[in-house]
């Protein structure tokens, strides 16, 4: 069992005339950082809700760690899979930061002493240890989102889904959270991240990328491969990552840059060499 997530012929429609998701099939390897990109209305968020069993598929199957996602298994699956939503305000459940981080732990019936330790540990990880007693109205959007992430991380999950979790944050907040994700993945190589995003640069940096268009998988594969087909990407109105644009422009002038180079900093270093 090398797949964290297996989706087979998944279909979903909110009403009978309009199909939201059509016959999706894909696999997510353990420990991968997978991005799902697509336009508004391409069915990204619906897919996220299906993966967490917040809505049930019209047809098709989802396996999480080889366990079929259904009413019977959902309790077990929720212990391995968590999701962070887009709006930080609407997922802040506790009345203070510490209560919110503890909420998921309370649901798991974890004893008080362990909870206190975990709350301290994970609030430190997201740099919120000085805000434990603060109420949500006293926090910024980025801080609230960091609390939500701490609440999910504290549950020691194996698969974490970010449903546009960084879209309401400022660039600095986004950077912080990217660092946090990298740190978590280094520590636990089995940890699978699925990020649903508009950010084409983030998608380019991921291990595997799935592009959704009108409820179907338009393309999937390693970002280097799929973004190289520039015409296809542009046809559905998506942008091409900045680094790739430069690489291609250089290629026309017969300057070849290694495929591994994905960030602007690395590219600059490589060109200067």
Partner 1 sequence: MTNIFGKYTQYNTIIHKCDPRIKILGLILIMVICFLPYGSNYMNQLAILAVLGVVIVSLMIIAKINFLDFFKSLKVMWFMVIFLLIINVFIPYGNNEHVMISFSNGYTLYWEGVLNTFMVVFRLILMIALTMILTSTTTPMDITYGFEWYLSPLKIFKFPTQVVAMTISLALRFIPTLLEQANRIMKAQKSRGVDYNRGFLSKKIKSITTLIVPLLVSCFSISDDLSLAMEARGYDPYGKRSRYRILKFSIYDLVSILFFIILLGAFIYLSVITNHYGVNIIETLFPLTEGVTF
For 67, phi then psi, to 5°, come to -105, 125
Applying CB under 8 A, among 2, 17, 40, 137 the residue interacting with partner 1 is 137
Under the binding rule (CB under 8 A), the answer on residue 91 touching partner 1 is yes
Give the CA distances from residue 108 to residues 68, 98, 163, in Å, rounded to whole numbers and listed in that order: 21, 16, 23
Complete DSSP assignment for 227-257: HH-HHHHHHTTPPPPHHHHHHHHHHHTT---
Under the binding rule (CB under 8 A), the answer on residue 141 touching partner 1 is no
Instruction: Return the number of the residue (152 or 244) whose C-beta is nearest partner 1.
Output: 152
Alpha-carbon span 94 to 25, nearest angstrom: 37
Applying CB under 8 A, among 14, 25, 56, 93 the residue interacting with partner 1 is 93
Under the binding rule (CB under 8 A), the answer on residue 155 touching partner 1 is yes
List the strands of the sheet with 3-12, edge to edge: 21-29, 3-12, 59-64, 67-68
Q: Which stretch binds partner 1 (CB under 8 A): 131-139, 172-180, 255-263, 265-273?
A: 131-139
Identify the CA nearest to 50 among candidates 76, 15, 14: 14
Q: Which stretch binds partner 1 (CB under 8 A): 5-13, 46-54, 194-202, 261-269?
A: 46-54
Of residues 47-76, those binding partner 1 (CB under 8 A): 49, 52, 54, 75
Pairing, β 33-38 against β 208-213 = parallel
List contacts with partner 1 (CB under 8 A): 49, 52, 54, 75, 78-79, 82-83, 85, 87, 89-96, 98-99, 102-112, 115-116, 119, 133, 135-137, 148, 151-152, 155
């Amino acid at each position: 069992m090398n797949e964290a997530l297996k989706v087979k012929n998944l279909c979903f429609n909110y009403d009978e005339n309009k199909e939201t998701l059509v016959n999706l099939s894909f696999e997510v390897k353990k420990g991968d950082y997978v991005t799902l990109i697509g336009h508004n209305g391409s069915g990204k968020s619906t897919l996220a809700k299906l993966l967490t069993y917040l809505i049930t598929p019209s047809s098709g199957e989802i396996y999480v760690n080889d366990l079929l996602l259904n009413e019977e298994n959902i309790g077990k699956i929720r212990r391995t899979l968590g999701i962070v939503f887009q709006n930080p305000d609407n997922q802040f459940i506790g009345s203070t930061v510490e209560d919110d981080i503890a909420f998921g732990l309370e649901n798991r019936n974890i004893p008080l002493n362990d909870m206190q330790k975990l709350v301290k540990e994970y609030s430190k990880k997201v740099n919120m240890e000085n805000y434990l007693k603060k109420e949500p109205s006293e926090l910024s959007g980025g801080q609230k989102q960091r609390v939500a992430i701490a609440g999910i991380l504290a549950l020691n999950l194996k698969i974490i889904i970010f449903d546009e979790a960084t879209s309401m944050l400022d660039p600095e907040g986004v950077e912080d959270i990217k660092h946090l994700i990298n740190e978590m993945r280094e520590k636990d190589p089995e940890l699978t991240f699925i990020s649903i995003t508009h950010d084409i640069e983030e998608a380019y940096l991921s291990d595997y990328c799935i592009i959704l268009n009108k409820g179907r998988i338009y393309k999937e594969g390693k970002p280097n491969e799929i973004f190289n087909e520039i015409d296809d990407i542009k046809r559905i109105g998506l942008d091409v990552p900045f680094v790739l644009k430069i690489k291609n422009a250089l290629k026309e002038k017969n300057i070849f840059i290694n495929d591994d180079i994905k960030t602007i900093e690395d590219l600059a270093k490589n060109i200067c060499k």
